[in-house]
Amino acid sequence: MAKLNIIMVSFVVLVVANSCIPSLAVEENEPKKLWDQCVVKISPKCALNIISQVFGNGVVSIPCCQELVQEGKECHDTLVKYIADRPSLIRNESKYLQKRDEVWAHCVSVSKALSPA
Protein backbone atom coordinates (compact mmCIF):
# COMPACT_ATOMS: atom_id res chain seq x y z
CA MET A 1 0.00 0.00 0.00
CA ALA A 2 2.86 2.39 0.76
CA LYS A 3 4.30 1.81 -2.74
CA LEU A 4 0.90 2.64 -4.29
CA ASN A 5 0.74 5.88 -2.30
CA ILE A 6 4.23 6.79 -3.53
CA ILE A 7 3.15 6.09 -7.11
CA MET A 8 0.04 8.23 -6.74
CA VAL A 9 1.97 11.09 -5.17
CA SER A 10 4.59 10.80 -7.93
CA PHE A 11 1.89 11.01 -10.59
CA VAL A 12 0.27 14.04 -8.98
CA VAL A 13 3.67 15.73 -8.72
CA LEU A 14 4.33 14.98 -12.40
CA VAL A 15 0.99 16.45 -13.43
CA VAL A 16 1.47 19.56 -11.31
CA ALA A 17 5.04 19.97 -12.54
CA ASN A 18 3.85 19.60 -16.11
CA SER A 19 1.26 22.31 -15.56
CA CYS A 20 3.56 24.74 -13.77
CA ILE A 21 7.00 24.02 -15.19
CA PRO A 22 6.67 22.00 -18.41
CA SER A 23 10.42 21.58 -18.86
CA LEU A 24 10.61 19.65 -15.56
CA ALA A 25 7.72 17.32 -16.28
CA VAL A 26 9.34 14.83 -18.63
CA GLU A 27 12.82 13.62 -19.33
CA GLU A 28 14.54 14.85 -22.46
CA ASN A 29 14.10 11.53 -24.25
CA GLU A 30 10.35 11.41 -23.59
CA PRO A 31 8.02 12.30 -26.44
CA LYS A 32 7.11 15.60 -24.79
CA LYS A 33 4.40 16.52 -27.25
CA LEU A 34 2.55 13.24 -26.67
CA TRP A 35 2.97 13.56 -22.89
CA ASP A 36 1.55 17.12 -22.98
CA GLN A 37 -1.41 15.98 -25.06
CA CYS A 38 -2.15 12.92 -22.95
CA VAL A 39 -1.83 14.27 -19.43
CA VAL A 40 -4.69 16.73 -19.98
CA LYS A 41 -7.07 14.20 -21.53
CA ILE A 42 -8.00 12.46 -18.30
CA SER A 43 -9.13 13.83 -14.95
CA PRO A 44 -6.73 13.50 -12.02
CA LYS A 45 -9.37 11.46 -10.16
CA CYS A 46 -9.60 8.91 -12.97
CA ALA A 47 -5.85 8.89 -13.53
CA LEU A 48 -5.38 7.92 -9.87
CA ASN A 49 -8.19 5.36 -10.15
CA ILE A 50 -6.47 3.72 -13.13
CA ILE A 51 -3.02 3.89 -11.52
CA SER A 52 -4.40 2.22 -8.40
CA GLN A 53 -5.46 -0.77 -10.50
CA VAL A 54 -2.35 -0.98 -12.66
CA PHE A 55 0.12 -0.55 -9.80
CA GLY A 56 -1.96 -1.84 -6.89
CA ASN A 57 -5.20 -3.60 -6.06
CA GLY A 58 -7.69 -0.91 -7.01
CA VAL A 59 -10.60 -1.26 -9.41
CA VAL A 60 -11.30 1.20 -12.21
CA SER A 61 -14.78 2.73 -11.99
CA ILE A 62 -17.12 2.65 -14.99
CA PRO A 63 -16.94 6.44 -15.55
CA CYS A 64 -13.14 6.25 -15.42
CA CYS A 65 -13.16 3.37 -17.91
CA GLN A 66 -15.15 5.56 -20.27
CA GLU A 67 -12.70 8.43 -19.77
CA LEU A 68 -9.77 6.08 -20.38
CA VAL A 69 -11.21 4.85 -23.68
CA GLN A 70 -11.82 8.45 -24.76
CA GLU A 71 -8.22 9.27 -23.83
CA GLY A 72 -7.04 6.56 -26.22
CA LYS A 73 -4.73 3.56 -26.04
CA GLU A 74 -1.61 5.43 -27.13
CA CYS A 75 -1.97 7.92 -24.27
CA HIS A 76 -2.79 5.18 -21.75
CA ASP A 77 0.24 3.17 -22.84
CA THR A 78 2.54 6.21 -22.76
CA LEU A 79 1.52 7.41 -19.29
CA VAL A 80 1.68 3.96 -17.67
CA LYS A 81 5.02 3.16 -19.33
CA TYR A 82 6.42 6.49 -18.13
CA ILE A 83 5.49 5.67 -14.54
CA ALA A 84 6.58 2.01 -14.81
CA ASP A 85 10.02 3.14 -16.00
CA ARG A 86 10.77 4.80 -12.66
CA PRO A 87 13.81 3.23 -10.97
CA SER A 88 11.77 1.98 -8.01
CA LEU A 89 9.30 0.18 -10.31
CA ILE A 90 11.35 -0.96 -13.30
CA ARG A 91 12.02 -4.48 -11.98
CA ASN A 92 8.26 -5.20 -12.12
CA GLU A 93 7.69 -3.32 -15.37
CA SER A 94 6.47 -6.37 -17.32
CA LYS A 95 3.83 -7.06 -14.65
CA TYR A 96 2.64 -3.45 -14.76
CA LEU A 97 2.52 -3.41 -18.56
CA GLN A 98 0.44 -6.61 -18.51
CA LYS A 99 -1.95 -5.05 -15.98
CA ARG A 100 -2.07 -1.91 -18.15
CA ASP A 101 -3.22 -4.02 -21.10
CA GLU A 102 -5.77 -5.86 -18.92
CA VAL A 103 -7.22 -2.55 -17.71
CA TRP A 104 -7.45 -1.30 -21.29
CA ALA A 105 -9.24 -4.46 -22.50
CA HIS A 106 -11.66 -4.34 -19.55
CA CYS A 107 -12.44 -0.66 -20.11
CA VAL A 108 -13.00 -1.12 -23.84
CA SER A 109 -15.40 -3.97 -23.05
CA VAL A 110 -17.27 -1.89 -20.46
CA SER A 111 -17.48 1.11 -22.78
CA LYS A 112 -18.79 -0.98 -25.68
CA ALA A 113 -21.45 -2.54 -23.44
CA LEU A 114 -22.64 0.91 -22.35
CA SER A 115 -22.61 2.61 -25.73
CA PRO A 116 -25.89 2.81 -27.66
CA ALA A 117 -26.10 0.35 -30.54
- Give me the residue spans of the domains in the chain: 29-114
The verdict on pTM exceeding 0.85 is: no
Q: How far is CA 55 from CA 60, 82, 115, in A?
A: 12, 13, 28
Which residue did the predictor score with more confidence, 34 or 73?
73
In this prediction, residues 45-59 reach a mean pLDDT of: 93
For residues 54 and 48, give the distance between their C-alpha atoms in angstroms, rounded to a whole number.
Answer: 10
Q: What is the pLDDT of residue 77?
A: 93
Per residue in 66-109, pLDDT tens?
999 999 999 999 889 888 888 999 899 999 999 999 999 999 99
Residue 37 above 90 pLDDT?
A: no
